[in-house]
Amino acid sequence: MSKETAAETTGSAGRTGQPPSLLPPGLGAAIRDTAEEIAALVRGAGDTGLPVPGCEWTFGEAAAHLAQANELMADVAAGRERTHGDGTPGSIADANARALAEFGERAAGPLADMIAGQAAAFLTTVEQRDPDEVLVTPMGSMDPATLGSYLLTHMLGHGYDLARALGRPHMIDRARVELTLPFMIAAMPRVVDPAAVAGLTARFTVRLWGGARFGVTVADGAVTVTARPVERPDCTILTEPVAFLLMGLGRSGPWGVMARGRALSWGRKPWLAPRFPALFVAP
């Protein structure tokens, strides 16, 4: 581990004499490393016109979207106002399509450089923000640290898609998934499927293998998410971290995850577990 990474991981000045990072321990390194790993994948693509499994975009279009999104995040971190839909999954999808149509770059090299370069720009500019500052993002208002979690989450989802398209290993692991939780907790109430929660009253505790956990309460057509487990949950879900993120991002369904033993449930209403991912619509 380098001295720079060690200082970031401990969240202190350490031996480098650098001030503590605004981002939570490990998040800056995860953003940088994920962007560089995705950039390496993109540079190694012989044909950016190949299809991405489960996606209507080609490889080049998915990489272009990721490059644009990293630029948007860097702009938001720098305090520049950027509009991109109204925060609902449908409007964000429409905004993505319009932005992609207006951006013609599909060559692997320039896209790889933009993905890594804009992630690096984000890391530079975000450290200049006030930790309590409210930044306006496509998924609502959030502080700089949660914005960093958002950037990582978005890169992991599309990095997974690009890796699958090439038949290469993806870059999602337990440590990176835990760093996505602040954004996931903040975003879940914004991506609720009204039809799926209609008439449902339930309390969930979601636990990831390794200890991270949070609570979700569904009542009166609304969803409340807390960083702590709920009291007396109707259903407790224990899931492997990578499987959790892939379900949360709409890349896999609950039945296959449960069949492979990567998710378990218990409580008064354990049968609610397969229904849980369907309460949300991935943007």
Banded model confidence at residue 13, pLDDT cuts 50, 70, 90 = very low
- Cα Dmax for the chain: 56
Asked if pLDDT for residue 267 goes beyond 50, the answer is yes
Q: What is the pLDDT of residues 167-222, one digit of tens each?
A: 999 999 999 999 999 999 999 999 999 999 999 999 999 999 988 999 999 999 99
Rounded Cα–Cα distance for residues 201 and 221 (Å): 8
Asked if pLDDT for residue 6 goes beyond 90, the answer is no
- Using the 8-state DSSP alphabet, how is residue 21 labeled? P
Asked if pLDDT for residue 16 goes beyond 80, the answer is no
Asked if pLDDT for residue 9 goes beyond 80, the answer is no
Residue in the block written with tokens 């369907």: 278
- DSSP lists the bridge partners of residue 136 as 141
Q: Could you tell me the fold of the domain covering 192-279?
A: Nonspecific Lipid-transfer Protein; Chain A (3.30.1050)
Q: How many residues are given for the chain?
A: 283
- What is the mean pLDDT of the segment spanning 253-273? 96
Predicted confidence at residue 86, as pLDDT, reads 82
Q: Could you tell me the fold of the domain covering 3-7+23-188?
A: Four Helix Bundle (Hemerythrin (Met), subunit A) (1.20.120)
Rounded Cα–Cα distance for residues 49 and 63 (Å): 11
Which comes out higher in pLDDT, residue 11 or 252? 252
- What is the mean pLDDT of the segment spanning 145-172? 98
- What is the mean pLDDT of the segment spanning 40-69? 96
Rounded Cα–Cα distance for residues 257 and 255 (Å): 5
